[in-house]
């Protein structure tokens, strides 16, 4: 490198005006996305739960009228039915199963047991407590437990 080039690099500014504008724009976009996701999140209490097994809806539960419906009796076994709690075993034709506990008093749902793998991420997932909760998923078994949101027209929003 020539001495002239070295002097040019030393004499130039660290940031040019366009660099600063691009960084400011990126920061503004990041801040606006964070605000948008925190403000628009649905923090209303959980209205119900729908359980999907290998792409098929197998169970629905509505906390507003304390009702539930087993849509696929071949895949859902009722293990315990109490006044405030419902425990289900969701399974397929193989030996795989997930145990889902639904608490009507707390308006929550969680996976309490599974034989999917050594990690059992579905068991350690955060329980569903609000309509904006992240669904509980068990990828090896194809199980998804997600909030069931009702609107005035009776349609289900997913």
pLDDT band at 153 (very low <50, low <70, confident <90, very high): very low
| Whole-number pLDDT of residue 152 | 38
Cα 98 from Cα 114, distance rounded (Å): 4
pLDDT digits (tens, 9 = 90+) for 103-115: 999 999 999 999 9
What is the second-level CATH architecture of the domain 48-157? Sandwich (2.60)
pLDDT tens-digit readout, 67-111: 899 999 999 999 998 888 999 999 987 888 999 999 999 999 999
| pLDDT (0 to 100) of residue 62 | 92
Q: What digits encode the pLDDT tens for the residues 5-46?
A: 777 777 777 777 888 899 999 999 999 999 988 888 778 888
**Strand residues in the chain grouped as ranges (E):** 48-53, 56-62, 67-70, 76-81, 85-91, 97-103, 108-114, 136-138, 143-147, 149-150, 156-157
Of residues 140 and 155, more confidently modeled: 140
Query: What is the per-residue pLDDT for 83?
Result: 85
Would you kindly state where each structural domain of the chain is located, as residue ranges? 3-39, 48-157
């Amino acid at each position: 490198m020539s001495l002239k080039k070295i002097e040019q690099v030393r004499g130039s500014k660290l940031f040019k005006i366009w660099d600063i504008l691009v960084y400011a724009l990126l920061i503004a976009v990041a801040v606006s996305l964070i605000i948008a996701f925190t403000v628009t999140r649905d923090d209303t209490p959980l209205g119900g739960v729908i359980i999907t097994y290998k792409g098929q809806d197998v169970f629905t539960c509505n906390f507003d009228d304390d009702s539930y419906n087993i849509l696929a009796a071949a895949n859902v076994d009722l293990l315990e039915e109490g006044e405030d709690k419902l425990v289900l075993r969701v399974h397929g034709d193989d030996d795989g199963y997930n145990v889902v506990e639904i608490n009507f008093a707390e308006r929550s749902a969680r996976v309490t047991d599974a034989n999917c793998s050594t990690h059992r991420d579905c068991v350690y997932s955060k329980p569903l407590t609000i309509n904006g909760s992240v669904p509980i998923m068990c990828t090896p078994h194809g199980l998804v437990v997600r909030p069931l949101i009702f609107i005035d027209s009776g349609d289900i929003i997913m």
